[in-house]
Amino acid sequence: MPWWKSVKGVADALKTNLEKGIHGDHADLLKRKSAFGSNTYPQKKGKSLWIFLGEACQDLTLIMLMIAAVVSIGLGMKTDGIKKGWYDGASIAFAVIVGVVVTAINDYRQDLQFNFLIEKKRNIHLEVIRDGRRPKVSIFDVVVGDVVPLKIGDQIPADGILIPGCSLDIDESSMTGESKIVHKNSREPFLMSGCKVVDGSGTMLVSSVGVNTKWGLLMASTSEDTGEETPLQVYLNGVATFIGSVGLALAAAVLVVLSVRFFTGHTKNLDGRVQFREGNTSAADAINGATKILAVSVATAVVAVPEGLPLAVTLILSFLVKKLLAENALVRRLSACETMGSMTTICTDKTGTLTSNSMTVMEVYVAGQKIDPPDSKSLLSPMLSSLVIEGIARNTTASVFIPEGEGDPVISGSPTEKAIVEWGFKLGMDFDAVRSESSVISVFLFNSEKKKGGVALQLPDSQVHIHWKGAAEIILASCVGYCDANGNLVQMDKDKELLFKNVIEDMAANSLRCIALAYKTYDMDKLPVDEQELAQWPLPEDDLVLLALIGLKNPCHPGVGDAVRTCQNAGIKVRMVTGDNPQTAKAIALECGILSSEEDAVEPNVIEGRVFREYSDSEREDIAEKISVMGRSSPNDKLLLVQALIRRGHVVAVTGDGTNDAPALHEADIGLSMGSQGTQVTKEASDIVLLDDNFSSIPKVVLWGRSIYVNIQKFKQFQLTIIVASVIINAVGAASGGVQLNTVQLLWVNLVMDTLGAWALVTEPPTDNLMRMPPVGRREPLITNILWRNLLFQVAYQVTVLLVLNFRGKSLLGLEHEIPQHANKVKNTLIFNAFVLCQIFNEVNSRKPDELNIFKGILKSHLFIGINAVTLLLQVIIIEFGGKFTSTVRLNWKMWLISVAIAFMSWPLAFIGKFIPVPKSPLHKFFTRRFHRGRRAHG
C-alpha cells in the first residue's frame, strides 16, 4: 500500500482530517485522553518535609548539642530534682529543635520553588491544527490524532508519523545517543518524541503520547536534578568554610579556657560558691559542669559557623526566580541570575525584541511604480496580479483558517508572513483555491544565511514556476528583469536597477523592512525524476523576474526607548544585531535610542556582517568595541561578535529566537531567548526566556540580578558583625571569668542571624539607584572595604559597651545593694537583651551599607519590617516569660530603656562612621570573587 494511503488510513481510524486536524472540542479531547492517555508521565515525588527534617538533624554541631541537652537533663534532674533539674537541658533541646525545624522549612520551600521552575521549563507551548485553526497549547495537552506543524528548532511533542508532502532532518541523539542527523521522508516517516527538528518543515500525525512513547518511559524513570549549585554558592561555601574554621578554633579556645577555669576552681556560681573543688565535688556535679561548658562551646561554634550564608543565596535565588517570572522572565539556569549583575553589553535582535511582533504592509512597488494605496488591485493587470498572488499563497509558511459564514480569515505564522498574506487577501486572493491549482515540487525554506526562501510549483498545464521571497536587495541582485503593468517581461537596465535600489534605500530609511517577490519559469524536462534526486535538487535562484517590492512597518515596542536608556545609564551598551538592511536597522536604532544621532550612524558604529567577518581576530576585537548596529548579519557574525567582546573582557548578553542563534546564546555569558517566537532549541541553549519577547523586560532582569550581590553584601555585613562580636564577648568572658552568653541565648542569636536575618535582608526589593551604578565587576570583592569599615565599627561599639556592662555593670546600673545572685542575673539579662536588640538595629544599618540615610525606602520593605517586628516580639516574650529556660529575669522599664538606648546609639555612630576614610582590608584579596563567567565555571 502506498505510504500516503497508510497515513490516510491511520488518520481515518483516529478520526483526524490531515489538513484541518481533529475537531478539538472539550468532549473530543476527553474522549481521546480516555482512550489513549494524556501526554504526561508519572513524576517522582519531591522530598517530604520529614526528609528535610531528618537531613537537618544530621548536622554534627546540632548532634553534639542534643547529646549535651540529654546529659544536662539527666544530671540536672538528679542534682536539682525533677521539677527544676530539666530546665537547662530542655532549653537547649528546644532551641535546637526550633533551629532544625526552621532549617528544614527553608530547604523544603526552596525545593518546592525549584520543582516549580522545572515544571515551567518542561511546559512547552506549541501550535497544533484543530478544526482548521492553529491554537497554541501546552505540550501536556497534545492528544493522539493531533496534527502538529513542525519547523526548524521545534521539539517533537509525541510519537507520530510524518504527513505526506513533508521532509524533515531530525536530531535523534536524545533518544539514540548518536549525533547523526536522520532524514525523515516517505521511506522513514516515523518520528520520536523528545527529538529536535534541525532542518525542513512539515506536519506530523500524533500516534502515541505520554508513557506510551519511548521518551515518556525514559522521563518517568529519571528525575531532573534540583541541586544545582551556582558559582556564587560554591564561592560562598568556601568563604563560610574559612570563617567557620576560624570560629571553630575560637570555640575550641573557649572550651579549653572554661575547662581549665572550672577544674582549677576558678569558676563560681552566681551566689559566689566555687563550682568544683577537687575531692569535694561529686562526679555527677563535675560531669554536669563539664557538660554545660561543652554546650556553651558548641553553641559558640554554631554561631561562629556562618551556615546561613549559603542559605541566604538559596533564599534569594528562589525569591528571584518567582519575582522574575512575574516580570515575564523564566530563569532556566540559576547561574545567569548572578551573572546579570555583571553584564556590560547586550547584543539584541531587532524584529520581535526591539520591535513588536505585528507588521503591516505600508508601501508596495509593482511594475516599476508605487501602488498607492498598497491594496489597490485596480492598478495591477490580471496576469501580474495572478503571479503576485500565486507567489504569496504558495511561497509561505503561514496557514489560513476561513471561518464558516461571515468573518475575516485567521492567519497564523510569523509576523512577516502574516502581513504579506493579509495584503494578498486585500488584493482579492482566494487562498485555498490558489493552493489547489498547483502542486509543490520542492521547497527551499527561508535561510538566515541566504536571507531568502523559495518554492517550485507544477501548474496544471505542466508549467513550472519557481517563486522566491526574501531580503529585497538580495532578491534584486538575482533579477534580470521585471514585470510591467501588463504582466510582460521587461529587461532590467541600469537605470531601472538604480531606481529599485533607491526605492529599497528609501524604505529602509523610513524604518520599513523591504521584502521582494520574484519568480521564474522552468523547463519541466529538466526536473529530476528520481525522488531522492529531487529531494537534493538545488532550487534555481538566478535569472529571476521581479514581481513586487513590499515595505513592512514594524513599530518599536512601547517603552523600548526608555529601556535602552535605562541600560545605557547602568553602564550597559546596547548593540543591535539584525539580518535586516543596515539602513532599516539604523532607522530603528535611532528611533529607540541605540544611536543618539545621524552623526553616529557611520562605520564602524554601523556595520554590515560581511564586512565584520572579513577582519582578523585582533581587528574584530577593536572594531567590536565600537559597533552599535550590525545589519545583514548571519548567525555566525553574531557569534564572532560575541566572542570578540568576551575576549575584550565584556560580560555579554545575547537575545535570539532562531535555531541558528543557539551557538551565540550558548557562547554568551547570558543567553536570552524569546518565549513566543523562539524555537525550543533556542530556549534550551539560553539561560533566561523572555516570555513577552520584549526588550523592556531586560532592564528588570538586570535590576534583580544586581540586587543579588547587594543583598548578599547586606546580609554578610550583618552576619559577620554578630559572629565577631559574640565570639569576642564569649572569649573575653571565658578568659576573665565574667559573662558568657549561655547556650540557649547563643542559639537564639543564631536563629536571629541565620534565618530571620537572611529572610529580612536578602528579600529586600531592589531600588532604582542600582540601575544608575556601573556593572558589578567579575572580580569585585564580595565584602568591600566599606563593608569592612561598617562591620568593624559596629563590632567595636557592641563589644566595648557590653564588656563595660559586664565588668562595671553593677555600679553603672545601681545594683550594688541588690542580692549578688539577683544583681548578676539582671546584669547578664541586660547584656543579652542589649546584644539582641543591637542586632535588630544593626539589620537596619545593614540595609544601606554605603548610604547616609539608612531609612530610605524602609516603609516599602514590608517583609523587612514584619520580620524585625516578629523578632522584637519574640525577644520580649523570651525576656518576660522565658526566664526558666534562658537563665534570665524580667527587666523593669528602666532596664528596657537602657537596652534600647544601647542599640539605638548604633545608628548615629554608624552615620558618623561613614565619614571615616576606608582603609583596604587585609582580607580584601580573599573575599574577592574568584569565580569566572557563570556558566563556564559551572560547566
Query: CB count, 10 Å around CB of 597?
Result: 7
Contacts of 201 by beta carbon, 8 Å cutoff, 6+ apart: 149, 150, 151, 152, 166, 168, 397, 443, 445
- What would the grid cell of residue 417 be? 508572513
d(CA 467, CA 393): 10
Task: Identify any residues that bridge with 202 across adjacent strands, giving them in sequence order.
Answer: 150
Instruction: Based on the residue annotation, tell me whether 669 is a catalytic residue of this protein.
Output: no
Distances 341 to 318, 336, 570, 571 between C-alpha atoms, Å: 17, 9, 10, 11
Write the secondary structure of 752-774 as one string of H (helix), E (strand) and C (coil).
Answer: HHHHHHHHHHHCCCCCHHHHHCC
The torsion of the CA quartet 415, 418, 424, 425, rounded to 10 degrees, works out to: -140
835 closest CA partner among 813, 862, 861, 806: 806
d(CA 376, CA 427): 7
Q: With 0-12 CB in 10 A as exposed, 13-18 as middle and 19+ as buried, what is 70?
A: middle
Q: What one-character-per-residue DSSP string does 896-919 give? A: HHHHHHHHHTHHHHHHHHTTS--P
Task: Identify any residues that bridge with 471 across adjacent strands, giving them in sequence order.
Answer: 515
- Chain length of the chain: 939
665 closest CA partner among 688, 693, 647, 690: 688
Residue pair 612/637 in contact by the 8 Å Cβ criterion = yes
Residue pair 455/444 in contact by the 8 Å Cβ criterion = yes
Catalytic residue among 59, 111, 349, 693: 349
628 closest CA partner among 596, 667, 591, 653: 596
Looking at residue 676, the DSSP 8-state letter turns out to be T
d(CA 112, CA 110): 5
- What would the grid cell of residue 578 be? 539584525
- What would the grid cell of residue 230 be? 551556582
Per the listing, cell 532582569 goes with 701
Q: With 0-12 CB in 10 A as exposed, 13-18 as middle and 19+ as buried, what is 42?
A: exposed
Positions marked active-site: 349
